[in-house]
Amino acid sequence: MIYNFCVLVEKQIRVDIFLSTLFKDFSRSYVQKLVDRGQVSVNGVKVNKNIKISNHDEIKIEIQLEKLEVEPEKMDLDIVFEDKEIIILNKNPRVNVHPVPGENGKTGTLVNGLLYHCKDNLPSIGGVERPGIVHRLDKDTTGAIMIAKTDKMMNYLSGIIKNRQIDKYYIAIVHGKIKDRNFKIESFIGRHKDDRTKMTTLNPIAAKEAITYGEVLDYVDNKYSVLRIKLETGRTHQIRVHLASIGYPILGDSTYGNVRVNKEVATMHQIKRQALHAYELGFELYGEKRVFRANLKDDMKKMIGDIVE
């Protein structure tokens, strides 16, 4: 696969950082391998990974996609709903949704479990490594995720996501007492200029508009807030970045959170991953509005009790 495009950047940036941001499913180390193999050229000249590109530079990149042999794997799937067209799961923590080219980890993903559970009844549109996957959750985010079992359903679900015809609600536990019971966060989110594993609202690369709505449900220990979050947009790490940007990071978030607080809640409340759960999906299915809820996982449930029914 060959890509030719013109760079649009405000200031110079290393070619490996730029490409790993553009091709977000490829790790930076994988992009560096492409560069080292001579598969990347700038203005007709093959480059090394340290070169910086400028606005209006012409880039050519040749990507030989790795063929991922994704095997079925028996897995404990928490099924919320299933029929012949769609399956909605309550994803467990520490599980990637799908394998990522250029990285280790071709087993133990949700896709491996789906291949075992559904046998050959998954659509081909998503390719070998993403059959039926129409949206994702971060590795340590739990909760509701929908998977198409037919090409027709995959096209339908992709369409309602693109057109924002789906309601997504999350439950989050953050450090600090948020005084405003209802709030809105609106900003632009993009890749961090120095660390491609992070997203940011401060001078981001390739920024996109992001809108998050929040409601305070209750407080825990008089210093943590339990929130009900609604997404209007669906940017990478959106909830985590937005809450951290206003000074209320999600508990257990190793990327955007507070190290001291994370250690405290790991000891006191056994929260050892980001306390974020995709609680509810609402959308039209077969001509009627349906709402699917995924129960909280044990770690968050133990901390907040019956605040969320």
Q: Which residue in 57, 138, 140, 299 is the catalytic one? A: 138
Number of Cβ atoms within 10 Å of the Cβ of 98 = 23
Cβ–Cβ < 8 Å for 209, 188? yes
State the alpha helices, DSSP H only, in 146-251. 151-162, 238-245
C-alpha closest to that of 194 among 182, 186, 183, 202:
202
State the alpha helices, DSSP H only, in the chain. 15-22, 28-36, 110-118, 151-162, 238-245, 259-268, 298-304
Tell me, yes or no, if 138 is annotated catalytic: yes
C-alpha closest to that of 58 among 39, 45, 75, 71:
45
Q: Which residue, chain included where needed, has tokens 């929130």?
A: 227
Of all helices (H) and strands (E), which one includes residue 185?
strand 182-191
Instruction: Give CA–CA dist 106/10, Å, rounded.
Output: 37
In our burial notation (b when 16+ CB lie closer than 10 A, e otherwise), range 167-181 reads ebbbbbbbbbebeee
Q: Which residue, chain included where needed, has tokens 């404990």?
A: 76
Q: Within 13 Å, how many C-alpha atoms sit on residue 309's CB side?
A: 0
C-alpha closest to that of 120 among 157, 72, 68, 154:
72
Q: Where are the beta strands (DSSP E) in 92-148?
A: 142-148
Instruction: Give CA–CA dist 268/259, Å, rounded.
Output: 14
Tell me which residues are annotated as active site: 138
